[in-house]
Amino acid sequence: MKTQGSKAMADASTDPRRRLRRVQPLAIRLSHWINIPLLLIMAGSGLQIFTAYPALGPRGAQYSWYPFQNMSPPRWARFGGWLAGARHWHFALAWFLVLNGVIYLIYFAASGEWRRRLFLPGRDTGGAIKMFAYYVRALRTPPAPDFYNGLQRLAYTSVIVFAIVEVLSGLAIYKPIQLWWLAMLFGGYDGARVIHLGMLALITLFVLMHLVLVLLHPRAILEMITGGQRG
């Protein structure tokens, strides 16, 4: 007599829709589209907050390596109108952004999506090097196609790390006394500001590169809307 478990396994093996998932599962697509307005408003309101003191350095001193001391971000990049308005937007939406990220990571781990999306050094290092060499015309042919190539996996994994550091450094700035131990990990309040701004710059760079690649491969937009074919 077959058990319920063996029957379920047999059903899954004969039903291709249960064995194969879409190129972009629904949870991935939802988190992706929800992130867009949240990130835009968070970045704009953060730059508006930064405008209140557009300098980096401890106790009023300024870092010599930072070339934009006392230069406010451009008006078109800011959101919130003034300091208090920007703070309201920033701190209100931050929790929704974090919640969306936590749900994404839980699904990412539980569904096994990490296996085909995360950069695994043993699997992807060689492919990333070859793809980079192909992009700079050092190789004539790209490496064998995969769900994502090694360079894409490296970029997506890096931006997850950037986002986590961005959130943690933001918490250190938000509550530097209560979360003193977290602030110390970033070198204190001023160090947390530097890292917070730096992570924003890296995330922005990733987004710009992402947009360029999407424009070069418009099919990716359709897949992020419909989910694409199962496979």
User: Is residue 8 pLDDT above 80, yes or no?
Assistant: no
**Which pLDDT score, from 0 to 100, does residue 215 have?**
83
How far, in Å, CA of 57 to CA of 55, rounded?
A: 7
168 against 149, higher pLDDT = 168
User: Exposed, middle or buried: residue 7 (CB in 10 Å: 0-12, 13-18, 19+)?
Assistant: exposed
CA angle 136, 123, 148 (to 5 degrees): 60
Q: Which residues contact 148 (CB under 8 A, 6 or more apart)?
A: 116, 117, 156
Q: d(Cα 3, Cα 10) in Å, to the nearest integer? A: 11
pLDDT band at 231 (very low <50, low <70, confident <90, very high): low
> How many C-beta atoms surround the C-beta of residue 84 within 10 A?
11
> Residue 14 above 70 pLDDT?
no
Question: Is the CB of residue 223 less than 8 Å from the CB of residue 17?
Answer: no
Both structure tokens of 223: 């897949």
The encoded tokens of residue 210 equal 């992402």
| Domain locations in the chain as residue ranges | 20-226
- Other CB atoms within 10 Å distance of the CB of residue 121: 10
Q: Lowest mean pLDDT: which of 86-90, 153-157, 190-194, 212-216?
A: 212-216
CATH match of 20-226 with 1.20.950.20: yes
> What's the whole-number average pLDDT of the chain?
88
Strands (E), 42-199: none
Question: Is the dihedral angle over the CA atoms 173, 177, 183, 188 positive or is it negative?
Answer: positive
pLDDT, tens digit (0-9, with 9 covering 90-100), for 62-80 = 999 999 999 999 999 999 9
Residues 229, 70: Cα–Cα separation, whole Å: 51
